[in-house]
């Protein structure tokens, strides 16, 4: 079991599931109960979730862009090594990818759904004005629930034919060329209730929805809260998605966002409540305490990356430590942020990630999907903070891979289309391209901006996007080498790897050596202490000095002596506790 603190260690006996949120574990446990507890069942479950994630990615790309972007996005996901590893490894990364993609799909449907609503909807004020105008005027008006298209405009009678039938106006220039002799000049009256979706201000979207608009907003808000709650029940670091959902509802609805925000928060809390209540009854401590940060940072330790979270964790209450030594929080946060921004691009496709960065600039300039892409950038930043405070989690970073891939593929497809339109117009209409093209046209400006940005920043992409592992030997290999050891209970900096791959009872490395003695007095028997090579390369700090003195040969301090095991085939160092 992973201890919340030494005071609650005895209460966790028999409840090892409290060391990790239950969503993915419950799914895998259900699959094992139905089809057997084998590695193949775990892998197939992860693959099935990944296939669902591919479907959600296709729908998101199709909603925001087009069919070509959806195909490119799916092909990019199935060709990424990181996604394939997540799909076949049986980790919770696939579930987080599915939930994050579904959350952005809900936001995309909510954001772009105003276009369909605006085709036949108007605000209550406009409905009142239209009703009063209809009472004063006997002219027929179109039904309220039927959209008026430009091809079905009823023309007013002319002077020559006052009682003539209405004329169907065809205003499509591709069908009726205005240069023909029999072309009819059509004058569209400006008092018709015609509004095009792209010309409506985004902050007035809800004002133009009639009938079930508010109900749809509450339903979408409830869905966002439910998905964010399930994501937090998969990894606590995924609380970043909940913050993104609340910010999106606020910016999307603005003045009408009070009730949807309340619904989002209530559904999110209701999703987490059963698990948090059970955990509070067992441990005697709720999640709304700073001790919770210690639990999460000690569940999955990454050698060399988040081991500083172990050694630099405060010994007293975290809030009191932060108030007494505010710089200690910065020393804990800055290494985590640096590690996050070094390793984040490795989870994405390097080529597509460059288009995502360029697309962020173009989205703001063109005001196309600017809010949704801003939410993606906000999610990346919030994940950086949560992983820095709560400990490294590659699964949380992988959760945003499909969404980033969709936007990157969309801008890639759009850049390719504009490139063809600018340089090869004959490919579209069969004409011969002119020798002189307007260099400063809008299409050329976009193409030049895109190519210039990629060219200027190309020398720094290897520096920004290359990822050097923090350890030479994978933690799975380290764990497999400990499989044949007779020791059963290990205190280690890679507890998840030893528990999963070596079938050992793994206890996370405590904050200081004295806690080992307290664990012994609490009834927890430890057979050996194992430190991975990544832990041994951590630069020494003041908080590590007790460990360095305790592990130094001939200078054990007050701790009991350990028997070193010399074995060349075993990377790292291991000490056995005396019998």
| Residue linked to tokens 């697309």 | 359
113 Cβ contact partners less than 8 Å away, ≥ 6 residues apart = 216
Residue range 308-352, pLDDT digits in tens? 333 333 344 444 544 555 555 566 666 667 666 666 666 666 667
SS3 label, residue 490: strand
CA distance 476 to 493: 13
CA distance 520 to 77: 48
Assigned token pair, 439? 């260099």
| Residue linked to tokens 């002596």 | 561
Instruction: Concatenate the DSSP letters of all residues of 121-163 into one string.
Output: ---HHHHHHHHHHHHH--S----TTS---GGG-BPPP-SS-TT
Burial of 13 from C-beta contacts in 10 A (0-12 / 13-18 / 19+) = exposed
The closest alpha carbon to 376, from 563, 245, 213, 189, belongs to 245
| Residue linked to tokens 């979730």 | 49
What is the sign of the dihedral through the CA atoms of 518, 519, 524 and 530? negative
CA distance 56 to 39: 26
Assigned token pair, 354? 């460059």
The closest alpha carbon to 391, from 399, 383, 400, belongs to 383
- Please say whether the beta carbons of 326 and 307 come within 8 A: no
Assigned token pair, 549? 């003195």
Assigned token pair, 328? 């200690």
70 Cβ contact partners less than 8 Å away, ≥ 6 residues apart = 57, 58, 59, 61, 62
User: pLDDT tens digits for the chain (579 residues)?
Assistant: 333 334 444 454 555 555 567 888 888 888 888 888 787 888 889 899 999 999 999 999 999 888 888 888 888 888 887 788 888 877 888 999 999 999 999 999 888 765 455 444 444 444 443 343 333 333 333 344 444 444 444 444 444 444 444 444 434 444 444 444 444 444 444 443 433 333 334 444 444 433 345 788 889 999 999 999 999 888 888 889 999 999 999 988 887 888 899 999 999 999 988 887 877 776 665 554 444 454 344 333 323 233 333 333 334 444 454 455 555 556 666 666 766 666 666 666 666 777 787 777 777 666 677 788 889 888 888 887 777 766 667 778 888 889 988 988 888 887 777 766 666 555 455 454 443 344 445 555 666 666 666 665 555 555 444 444 444 566 777 777 888 888 888 888 777 778 777 888 888 777 667 777 777 777 777 888 887 776 665 555 555 566 666 666 554 444 455 666 655 556 667 777 766
Residue 294 phi, psi (nearest 5): -65, -40
CA distance 68 to 417: 11
- Give the angle subtended at the CA of 412 by the CAs of 409 and 418, to the nearest 5°: 140
H/E segment holding residue 573: strand 573-576
The closest alpha carbon to 396, from 56, 52, 82, 92, belongs to 92
Residue range 2-14, pLDDT digits in tens? 333 344 444 545 5
| Residue linked to tokens 């832990």 | 535
End-to-end CA distance of the chain: 22
Assigned token pair, 12? 């966790």
């Amino acid at each position: 079991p992973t201890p919340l603190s030494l005071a609650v260690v005895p209460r966790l006996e028999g409840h090892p599931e409290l060391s990790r949120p239950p969503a993915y574990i419950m799914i895998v446990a259900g699959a094992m109960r139905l089809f057997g507890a084998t590695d193949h069942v775990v892998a197939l479950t992860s693959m099935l979730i990944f296939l669902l994630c591919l479907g959600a990615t296709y729908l998101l790309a199709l909603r925001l862009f087009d069919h070509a972007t959806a195909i490119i996005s799916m092909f990019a996901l199935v060709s990424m090594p990181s996604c394939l590893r997540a799909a076949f490894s049986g980790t919770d990364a696939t579930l987080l990818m599915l939930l994050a993609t579904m959350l952005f799909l809900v936001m995309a449907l909510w954001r772009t759904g105003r276009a369909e609503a605006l085709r036949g909807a108007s605000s209550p004020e406009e409905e009142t004005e239209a009703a009063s105008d209809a009472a004063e005027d006997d002219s027929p008006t179109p039904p309220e629930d039927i959209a008026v298209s430009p091809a079905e405009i009823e023309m007013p009678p002319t002077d020559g034919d006052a009682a003539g039938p209405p004329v169907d106006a065809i205003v499509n220039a591709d069908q009726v060329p205005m240069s023909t002799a029999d072309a009819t000049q059509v004058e569209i009256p400006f008092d018709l209730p015609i509004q095009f979706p792209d010309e409506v201000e985004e902050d007035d979207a809800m004002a133009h929805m009639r009938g079930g608009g508010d109900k749809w907003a509450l339903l979408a808000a409830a869905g966002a809260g439910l998905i964010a709650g399930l994501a937090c029940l998969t990894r606590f670091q995924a609380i970043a998605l909940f913050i993104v959902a609340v910010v999106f509802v606020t910016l999307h609805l603005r003045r009408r966002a009070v009730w949807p925000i309340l619904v989002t928060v209530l559904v999110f809390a209701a999703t987490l409540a059963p698990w948090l209540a059970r955990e509070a009854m067992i441990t005697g401590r709720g999640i709304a305490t700073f001790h919770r940060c210690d639990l999460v940072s000690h569940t999955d330790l990454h050698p060399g990356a988040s081991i500083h979270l172990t050694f630099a964790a405060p010994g007293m209450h975290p809030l009191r430590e932060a108030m007494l030594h505010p710089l200690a929080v910065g020393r804990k946060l800055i290494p985590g942020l640096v590690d996050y921004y070094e390793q984040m691009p490795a989870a994405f496709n390097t080529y597509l990630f460059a288009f995502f960065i360029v697309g962020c600039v173009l989205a703001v300039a063109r005001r196309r999907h600017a809010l949704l892409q801003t939410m993606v950038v906000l999610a990346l930043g919030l994940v950086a903070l949560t992983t820095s405070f709560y400990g490294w989690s590659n699964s949380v970073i992988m959760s945003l891979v499909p969404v980033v891939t969709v936007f990157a593929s969309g801008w890639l497809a759009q850049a390719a289309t504009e490139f063809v339109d600018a340089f090869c117009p004959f490919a579209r209409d069969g004409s011969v391209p002119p020798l002189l093209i307007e260099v400063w046209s809008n299409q050329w400006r976009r193409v030049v901006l895109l190519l210039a940005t990629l060219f200027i920043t190309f020398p720094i992409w290897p520096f920004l996007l290359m990822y050097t592992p923090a350890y030479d030997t994978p933690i799975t290999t380290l764990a497999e080498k400990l499989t044949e050891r007779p020791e059963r209970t290990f205190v280690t900096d890679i507890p998840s790897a030893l528990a999963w791959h070596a079938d050992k009872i793994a206890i996370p490395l405590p904050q200081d050596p004295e806690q080992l003695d307290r664990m012994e007095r609490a009834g927890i028997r430890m057979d050996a202490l194992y430190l991975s090579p990544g832990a041994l390369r951590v630069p020494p700090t003041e908080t590590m000095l007790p460990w360095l003195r305790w592990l130094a040969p001939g200078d054990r301090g007050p701790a009991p002596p350990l028997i070193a095991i010399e074995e060349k085939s075993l990377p790292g160092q291991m000490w056995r506790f005396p019998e």
